[in-house]
Structure 1
Amino acid sequence: MTQNTLLTPYAAPFGHLPNRMVMAPMTRFRGEEDGTPQPIVADYYAQRASAGLIVTEGIWPSSRGQSGWRIPGLETAAHVAGWRRVTEAVHAAGGRIYAQLMHGGRHGHPLSRIDGDAPAAPSVVVSPELVHVRDGGKAEPVTPRVMTVDDIRTAVDDHVAAARNAIEAGFDGVELHGANSYLIHQFLADNTNLRDDAYGRGSMENRIRFAVEVVRAVADAIGAERLGLRLSPGNPQFGMYEADPGPVYRALLDEIDGLGLAYLHLTDNDRYPALDDLRPHWSGTLIANVGENGDPTTKEAGEAVVADGRADLVSYGRAFLTTPDLPHRFAVGAPPNDLDAAHLYTNGAEGYTDYPALGARELQTSTST
């Protein structure tokens, strides 16, 4: 495979994909105040149904894991009904869609959570970033309380319950967010897990224990073939620090590779070549993200990691955010739309569902130049 590798079909264990382009999860704050996705969320994802696979924005599995105001949830009957409208719209447009479950851990604030409580985390380590709160504002982060063993077991149960709700809502599967500084990542990283118990830093087995337990529990609940896992080894986002990610993530993948998960969604970065190091430890489908904390991923960068065998699929974030017909743009050589940064995290349709697809006039211009 050389030219247009991304546009070739892929026979995934979880179904046939018409191309190898995945829409990456991106927080957009388009939930109602109770966490139900707004009606425009169905329009947004249906517009992007030509992706080989869509992975939703991070969705909190329970209010205990809510990281920001108007981030949607998958806990209540209203949430399930709201997401069912989304999955029906995507399926009607010919797409496939996974729900990403994102427990915030230390991320969160009493003013950004429905329950009004402080977040809990593996250890008492404050996030260095401001927190999105009610009415579109930001606040200084609060000190999280330490999760007890019972809290940890509850968090596992919350992921299981939300995964079952996702299947009830019509999702094709679920992705666990073990990346980008959220709860699973907090247990894996050096500076956010200072525990000395069975979930702490005393051994590699302890450090990966929470991630392994969540993966196994959700796989048992909905089927491993409907479960993906996202990891971002060495990602410094939101103040995370991992001095030597390799041994931790190799141990984690060796522990779960035999479960038969739908895929591993892995981000690569200059600090740690995750794709090169971890691909030999993963026998299943691998989705690569090569634009984390850098420039948006180009078509050429995506083609390269598939062509050289480091990945089977490639996820695109910002390009899919602005360009609902991204696979078509790649096929005809047309550029993506420009980003409307002013409305990235607002609450309406502007900068969300108003990005245009390529029309006949634009198509003629792009193919004639």
Structure 2
Amino acid sequence: MSKLFDSIRVGRYTLQNRLVMAPMTRSRAQYDGTPGDLAARYYAQRAGVGLIVSEGTQPSDDGQGYLTTPGIYTDAHVAGWKKITSAVHDKGGRIFIQLMHAGRMSHPDNTPHHRPAVAPSAIAPGVGMFTTGGMQDIPVPRALSSDEVRRTVADFAFAARRAVESGADGVEIHGANAYLIQQFFAPSANTRTDEYGGSIENRARFAIEVATAIAGEIGADRTAIRLSPGTAMGGIDEGAELHALYRYLVAELDKLGLAYLHIMHLGDEPLLAEIRKLWTGTLILNRPGRPREQVGADAASGTADLEAYGAMVLANPDFVERLKTNAPMNEPQREGFFGGTEKFYTDYPTLALSATE
């Protein structure tokens, strides 16, 4: 495990260790998308990890999927994020804002304009979503025109510029978890016949264009992407060409010289091995549900350069210190995952606090 505590160069930054806070939606922003008042404290508490990846943050009105998720495209959003990035930097940490366009994983009740969700094709995901009116089925989205796809690429680049203006060290493109970018990958969500559908090259085109545009806007060394090959969330089925799709996609993205590739790994070890060979840059690996006793195994074996953890960092602001001292971990409390106040958000005890009680 000791390798986890070594510094490492990632993009234009040297990180203090190889531990990453994975992106986690917390649904505590204001209704206009401005980060909530407690968010600066929440992120600063966890600045001991080498890199924080923020909760998914919409790049536009169309990009919002869930209630009270933050945005990064208005002046108010930027002002809110400045408080967060300053608080993290004051603690010696680094933070990338994750840009998340939900695509069809949205409901009109949850967005500022209350219009239908947009997606590669007019195909509903077949799942429900929590709204102001309770749980509702997600309706059929509206298919983006080719010109609208290109405007969405521009939305991502604009949001990346605004993220840097807010003091973020970079951005991570959310290309995982059944949201818009992964919807373009999957034949179950993408039946287009233009340059963004059909062949592997066409289905990967949107992701590559987004990454290229953002790298051109803020620098490749401040641009990263997260992928979750083979996820079955939100009606996603990437089909028989899954391996071929990700081999092509990763090889093309590798040419851009991005800061890192972040993989949410769901157990396909042969594909992970292929990705590791194809990706010549920094690789972050997130294995959801990984037990504590396996923390550090991927960094030690060279399977990944950094390891990302979600719920353990959520529940343990001093996650790194607890690993170093083999101290017990707080258990995450699901009732506080989404929405609410400081309870199970900024009030998890630290070792230092516990010692004074």
Q: TM-score higher than 0.5 here? A: yes
Match of 2:140 in 1: 143
Match of 2:192 among 187, 195, 200: 195
TM-score of the superposed pair, with normalisation by structure 2: 0.96
Aligned twin of 2:29: 31
Q: Residue 179 in 1 paired to residue 176 in 2?
A: yes
CA distance in 2: counterparts of 1:318 and 1:14, whole angstroms = 28
Q: TM-score, normalised by structure 1?
A: 0.93
Residue 97 in structure 1 maps to residue 77 in structure 2 = no
Give the drift of 1:129: 2.3
Alignment of 1:265 onto 2:262 = yes
Relative to 1, partners in 2 of residues 1:225 and 1:34: Cα closer, same or farther, differing over 3 Å?
A: same
Within 1, Cα distance between the matches of 2:341 and 2:128? 22
CA distance in 2, matches of 1:263, 1:85: 25
**Among 122, 125, 130, which residue is 2:120 paired with?**
122
CA distance in 2, matches of 1:14, 1:215: 17
Deviation at 1:361, TM superposition (A): 5.5
| Counterpart residue number, 2:11 | 13
**1:228 alignment partner, SS class:** strand
Matched position secondary structure for 1:65: coil
Aligned length: 356
Structure 1 residue 196 displacement after superposition: 1.5
State the distance in 2 between where 1:301 and 1:197 align.
Answer: 45
Cα displacement (A) at 1:104:
0.7
The aligned runs of 1:219-258 (5 Å cut-off) are 219-244=215-240, 245-258=242-255
Cα deviation for residue 290 of structure 1 reads 1.2
2:105–2:234 contact (8 Å) kept in structure 1: no
Q: Is the 8 A contact 2:121 2:189 kept in 1?
A: yes
Tell me which residue corresponds to 2:297: 304
Whether the 8 Å CA contact 1:229–1:264 is kept in 2: the answer is yes
From 55, 58, 75, the equivalent of 1:57 is 55
Map of 1:319 onto structure 2: 312
Distance in 1 of aligned mates of 2:190 and 2:259: 28
The whole-number CA distance in structure 2 between the counterparts of 1:133 and 1:161 is: 28
Q: Find the counterpart in structure 2 of residue 75 from structure 1.
A: 73
- Amino acid across the alignment from 1:359: A
| Mapping of residues 268-347 of structure 1, within 5 Å | 268-271=265-268, 273-291=270-288, 296-347=289-340
Residues 300 and 50 of structure 1: CA distance in aligned 2, closer, same or farther (over 3 Å): same
CA drift of 1:119 comes to 0.3
CA distance in 2, matches of 1:46, 1:274: 35
Q: CA deviation at 1:274?
A: 3.6
**Amino acid across the alignment from 1:143:** V
Q: 1:215 aligns with which of 211, 226, 231?
A: 211
Matched-pair identity in %? 45
* Aligned residue number for residue 151 of structure 2: 154
Structure 1 regions of 5+ residues with no counterpart?
364-369
Per-residue CA distance 1:224-247 (angstroms, 9 max, x = gap): 000000000001122211234211
Query: Cα–Cα, structure 1 residues 361 and 323, in superposed 2: closer, same or farther, change >3 Å?
Result: closer
- Per-residue deviation, residues 174-200 of structure 1 (Å, max 9, x unmatched): 000000001110001221111111100
2:192 and 2:295 map into 1 onto residues whose CA distance is 38
Task: Give the secondary structure class of the aligned counterpart of 1:29.
Answer: coil
Give 1:349's aligned residue. Answer: 342
Q: Is the 8 A contact 1:175 1:228 kept in 2?
A: yes
More off after superposition, 122-131 vs 108-117: 122-131
4+ residue segments displaced more than 6 Å: none
State the shift of 1:206 in Å.
0.8
Instruction: Measure, in 2, the Cα distance between the counterparts of 1:239 and 1:5.
Output: 38
| Distance of 2:225 and 2:16 partners within structure 1 | 21
- Post-superposition shift, 1:343? 1.9
Report how far residue 360 of structure 1 moved. 6.7
Distance change (3 Å), C-alpha of 1:27 and 1:94: same
